Amino acid sequence: MSTSAARCLWSFFHKAGPVTIIHVDLRPNASREASSLLWLNEEEQARCRQYPLPGPRRRFALCRVALRSILCRQLGCSNERLSFGSSDYGKPFALVDGEPAAISFNLSHSRKHGLIALVPHGRLGVDVEERVSRRDFDELSEAVFGPHEQSALACARGSDRVQLFFRLWTIKEALVKALGLGFTLDVSQFEVPQALHQERISIFRFPHLPEVHWRVEYIGNEDFSAAIAHELPPSQLGDQSLQQLNCNVSERRGIYQ
């Protein structure tokens, strides 16, 4: 796959403060899937072969190609110089010539859609889910949502319930991925701010980490639910800075209403 062909996989989706979100087209395409292997290193190709089903294999390969293409542009390096490391909990980070690169990223995919979020610094998480009605909504709600979230879902009906379920789900997933602790965090022990049940943007703090503030934005559309969470830098943690940030958030909420 050429550089121009890889570029056709992705397009700009949204800007959230300093965070850029890219959409990746993951629809089946035999030619793109075959040529995408040329962008992957041996380890990635071996991982690709381990997927027994074509859907997950396609989503991994095309998302990784898009990520490589974007990072090479952002970091000014060739694909051969780019590699990936991972944290103790499996969160990947970029390496150029074996050295950590000055960029944070996170990615997520669901069926035909992938999202890649990038920011110069700070922990970052993104999640995307195509909305599919599920018979196990109640079981999942009890496992991952707190009492106020479960109450809100119980009051919702029909498509509104599906919309709210995936809104809360993607926000929680984005926060967990941003924190970077994997499955060690019990997601039922924190709740999505009430404002985010309907509005787009809010500031969040984990109960066990009240000193860390996160800017959370719901970025879903008619095709899918999606959310991002970005750690606010220390320069924005003073009382005056947070007041200004909250003011900006309140002003931007009107854009989406």
Q: Same domain, yes or no, for 21 and 99?
A: yes
Q: What is the pLDDT at residue 242?
A: 52
The CATH number given to whatever domain includes residue 45 is 3.90.470.20
Separation between Cα atoms, residue 128 and residue 232, nearest integer Å: 21
Separation between Cα atoms, residue 235 and residue 228, nearest integer Å: 20
126 belongs to a structural domain: no
Q: What is the pLDDT at residue 253?
A: 39
Q: Same domain, yes or no, for 113 and 210?
A: no
Q: What is the pLDDT at residue 3?
A: 73
Q: Same domain, yes or no, for 93 and 62?
A: yes
Q: What is the pLDDT at residue 222?
A: 96
Q: What is the pLDDT at residue 250?
A: 44
Say if CB 142 and CB 187 are below 8 A apart: no
Give how many domains the chain has, as a whole number: 2
Q: Same domain, yes or no, for 103 and 143?
A: no
Structural domain of 225: 133-256
Q: Same domain, yes or no, for 117 and 161?
A: no
Separation between Cα atoms, residue 213 and residue 206, nearest integer Å: 8
82 belongs to a structural domain: yes
Q: Same domain, yes or no, for 114 and 156?
A: no
Q: What is the mean pLDDT of each run of 10 residues along the chain (257 residues)?
A: 76 96 95 88 93 94 96 96 92 95 96 97 96 82 92 92 95 95 85 94 94 96 97 71 52 34
Q: Same domain, yes or no, for 149 and 87?
A: no
Q: What is the pLDDT at residue 7?
A: 76
* pTM for the whole structure: 0.90
- Whose structure tokens read 């030619």? 31
Separation between Cα atoms, residue 28 and residue 112, nearest integer Å: 8
Q: What is the pLDDT at residue 243?
A: 55
Q: Same domain, yes or no, for 82 and 164?
A: no
128 belongs to a structural domain: no
